[in-house]
A and B are shown apart, each in its own frame.
Chain A
Amino acid sequence: MSEPSLAALAGVTAWATVAGVDLVSVPQGLLSRPLVVGALAGCILGEPGTGLAAGVALELYALDVMPVGAARYPDYGAATAGATVAAAGLEGPWAGGPALALALALAWLGGLSLEYLRQANARAVHRRAAALATGDPRVIGALQLRGLARDTLRSAALAVVAVAAGAALARAWPMTGMGSTAAAALTIGLVGAGLSGAASGALRNAGRGLRLRWLGLGAVLGVLLAVFR
């Protein structure tokens, strides 16, 4: 695998920033889904297949997440970008394992950063409580736009960390001997964990009614597709 150019890494960083802002702030249009992030990050790096593989694997984890209200949830956008950079730079059939491991750590970190963002927004609102009580629309607008700016900064910082970590991992991970064996174990184990996440999320959403039967029917069709294709 060839090393990605700085321009390509910058492009992936910019894309991951957009994805991060999409998750919570604007436009919340699924740009932050792993499959979407991975597909475009792979194209930017000239490795569309690698990006899709990272995207599909992490999409399984994302299917476990319900981004409701005040719940804390992982941010898989920058994580997928970092995983794509790492996987594109690693040699061998098990390159996905270390990349997925990095992505999960980054997704957790992204979730943590969302928590800090919400607290920073709360502090800003608290500070401007008296001004808000005057009914001046400019105060509301300023709070809203500063919230957006904070999220953009958060997303950009996370994107830089993710892409840098992905590039560093691709250089540092030895794909021979124990490094290769650990990569294989990680690939299989983390795809398995992704399957458990997606299945658990699907079972939770299905409950015990008619939807559970549709889920079962889908699983049978999926297994047939996987075995006979």
Chain B
Amino acid sequence: MRGVTRAVARLLALQAAWNYERMQGIGMGWAAEPLLGDLRASDAARHTAATVRSAEFFNGHPYLAGLALGAAVRAEYDGATGEQVQRLRTAVGGPLGALGDQLFWAGLLPGLAGCAILGVTLGLPGLAVGGLLVTWNGIRLATTLWGLRTGLREGPLVARAIRDSWLTDAAQRVGRLAGLAVGAAIPAAAAWLLGGLTGPAGLTALAVGAVGVLLARIRPAWFTGLRYGLLLIAAVALLTLTGLGLGGRLA
């Protein structure tokens, strides 16, 4: 089938028109276009219907969306009904989202970011930042290409291919690496930023952090690091403007 390279390139921009109406649907339709080219020549009416379907609602993980795209395009070429194609997209979207979030957002990303932070604190910033970008994008590109090819090969049987693939096992393994790397990066970053953990600044920051973790355990949906930070800024501004506290010992 022609158009695989163009489709992979377009999958890199899958979410450019992300919206609450169709989520990644427009991006999926845009990525499907090069793959549906042969269908236009053989069956124009079917090509039109397939193009309409390709841009309908879709929500999955952007890096694994190639699996759903390939499977749907293969089903279109195999003569599946419109309803079957829609069902296929819906059926694989959810699991791909959950698996991709686990593998990439909750696993590989914090794992690599943790390693990069450690690299910076160890005095290797070029290697840390370069390694983060090269490793992530290498894995991401390879996964996108693998996903699209697997989807095109398996068609409606893609769910079985996903179940039997390396994805689930990789998500578990990468999760452990992420735990180790982030666990090590947090105290290392604090010490690097504040010049040590045992002085007044380091100990105060650790105490502030511990309170934040406690609050986040109590109200996990609301108490993000960003909101905690914004509350602290408001507190410091209030104390400074009213002239209370902040006697200058911290400096």
Which residues of B are in contact with A by a Cβ distance under 8 Å? 12-13, 15-23, 26-27, 29-30, 33, 47-52, 54-55, 59, 62-63, 97, 101, 105-107, 109-110, 113-114, 116-118, 120-121, 125, 128-129, 132-133, 136-137, 140, 175-194, 196-198, 201, 204-213, 215-217, 220, 223-226, 228-230, 232-233, 235-237, 239-240, 243, 246-248, 250-251
Is the CB–CB distance between B182 and A52 below 8 Å? Answer: no
Stretch at the interface among A11-19, A136-144, A163-171: A136-144
CB closest residue in chain B, given A61: B225
Q: Which residues in A have their C-beta under 8 angstroms from that of B201?
A: 184, 187-188
Q: A68-B105, A140-B55 are in contact. Are A193 and B16 (CB under 8 A)?
A: no
Is the CB–CB distance between B120 and A104 below 8 Å? Answer: no
Is the CB–CB distance between A125 and B19 below 8 Å? Answer: yes
Q: Give the secondary structure class of A's interface.
A: helix
Other than the given A64-B226, A215-B182, A219-B187, 15 more pairs (CB < 8 A) read A27-B13, A27-B137, A30-B109, A30-B136, A36-B129, A52-B125, A61-B229, A146-B17, A182-B240, A192-B207, A193-B212, A197-B226, A200-B216, A213-B179, A222-B118
- What is the CA–CA distance of A194 and B230 in the complex, to the nearest angstrom? 11
- What is the CA–CA distance of A24 and B66 in the complex, to the nearest angstrom? 17
- What is the CA–CA distance of A106 and B99 in the complex, to the nearest angstrom? 31
Q: Which 10 A-B pairs have the closest CB atoms?
A: A197-B225, A218-B183, A196-B212, A192-B208, A147-B17, A195-B209, A226-B191, A135-B48, A214-B179, A121-B19
- What is the CA–CA distance of A105 and B120 in the complex, to the nearest angstrom? 25
Is the CB–CB distance between B117 and A35 below 8 Å? Answer: yes
Q: Can you list 9 A-B contacts (CB < 8 A)?
A: A52-B125, A125-B19, A148-B13, A182-B240, A196-B208, A198-B189, A205-B175, A205-B179, A221-B184
Is the CB–CB distance between B20 and A196 below 8 Å? Answer: no
Is the CB–CB distance between A193 and B232 below 8 Å? Answer: yes
The total of chain A residues at the interface (CB under 8 A) is 108
Is the CB–CB distance between A223 and B187 below 8 Å? Answer: yes
Closest chain-A Cβ to B193's Cβ sits at a distance in Å of 5
Choose from A28, A74, A126, A190 the contact partner of B62 (Cβ within 8 Å): A28
CB closest residue in chain A, given B220: A204
Q: Which residues in A have their C-beta under 8 angstroms from that of B63?
A: 28
Residues 17 to 39 of chain A near chain B (Cβ within 8 Å) = 24-31, 33, 35-36, 39
Q: Which residues in B have their C-beta under 8 angstroms from that of A162?
A: none
Q: Which residues in B have their C-beta under 8 angstroms from that of A126?
A: 21
CB closest residue in chain A, given B236: A185
- What is the CA–CA distance of A59 and B113 in the complex, to the nearest angstrom? 8
Closest chain-B Cβ to A214's Cβ sits at a distance in Å of 4
Is the CB–CB distance between A188 and B204 below 8 Å? Answer: yes
Is the CB–CB distance between A63 and B113 below 8 Å? Answer: yes
Q: Which residues in B have their C-beta under 8 angstroms from that of A182?
A: 236-237, 239-240, 246
- What is the CA–CA distance of A107 and B212 in the complex, to the nearest angstrom? 19
Q: Which residues in A have their C-beta under 8 angstroms from that of B224?
A: 64-65, 197, 200
Q: Which residues in B have their C-beta under 8 angstroms from that of A96?
A: 193
Does A44 sit at the interface, judged by CB under 8 A? no
Closest chain-B Cβ to A207's Cβ sits at a distance in Å of 9
Does A67 sit at the interface, judged by CB under 8 A? yes
Is the CB–CB distance between A225 and B187 below 8 Å? Answer: yes
Is the CB–CB distance between B198 and A29 below 8 Å? Answer: no
Q: Which residues in B have their C-beta under 8 angstroms from that of A108?
A: 226, 230
Is the CB–CB distance between B193 and A53 below 8 Å? Answer: yes
Closest chain-A Cβ to B200's Cβ sits at a distance in Å of 9
Q: Which residues in B have their C-beta under 8 angstroms from that of A135?
A: 47-52
Q: A52-B120, A191-B194 are in contact. Are A200 and B33 (CB under 8 A)?
A: no
| Most chain B CB neighbours (cut-off 10 Å) among A30, A55, A211, A218 | A218
Q: Which residues in A have their C-beta under 8 angstroms from that of B15?
A: 24-25, 28
- What is the CA–CA distance of A140 and B197 in the complex, to the nearest angstrom? 54
Choose from B20, B178, B193, B211 the contact partner of A122 (Cβ within 8 Å): B20
